[in-house]
Amino acid sequence: MRSLALLPLLLAACVAAPAPVPPAVDLAGEWRVAEIDGESLDRPYGIALSANGERIWWDPSCAGQGVNYTITGSSFATATRRNPGVVCEIGFPPEVPQIWDALDAADTIERTPANGIRIHGNGRSVTLFSQ
């Protein structure tokens, strides 16, 4: 009878822990910024960003322009930004800080119908296309 009482505990121990949720979108790669907050980036210059599995940045990386991020399923979050210690002083497009602010506000990442990536939330958004 005692073994029957332990049966639910033994069965519960056999149930595997849920697997981590894989990211809905892989952000690693080279990207062109197409829109910021729904406004097309129609300028005589383009803004290219690079990303790996945990950080997205504007090159040259020594300019200190970038943010760390996490993706869980379709959830997107940036880490608290801190001054990375600029190594090289170089001008950057005026839209770059707007990009970081929009990413800081965002909470969702998804593919667009045109196979881009839209990162959005809290009234802010950034749309990227692969380069």
Judge contact between 96 and 58, C-beta under 8 A: yes
Judge contact between 13 and 33, C-beta under 8 A: no
Q: How confident is the model at residue 7 (pLDDT cuts 50, 70, 90)?
A: low
Architecture of domain 20-130: Beta Barrel (2.40)
pLDDT digits (tens, 9 = 90+) for 77-99: 999 776 556 667 788 899 999 99
CA distance 122 to 128: 18
The residue-averaged pLDDT of 58-82 equals 89
- Note every long-range contact of 82-91, with CB atoms under 8 Å and residues 24 or more positions apart, other chains counting: 86/62, 87/62, 88/60, 88/62, 88/63, 89/63, 90/60, 90/62, 90/63
The pLDDT assigned to 5 comes to 60
State the DSSP code for 97. H
pTM exceeding the 0.85 threshold for the entire prediction: no
Adjacent-strand bridge partners of 130: 31
How confident is the prediction for the chain on average, in pLDDT?
86
Select the more confidently predicted residue: 131 or 16.
Answer: 131
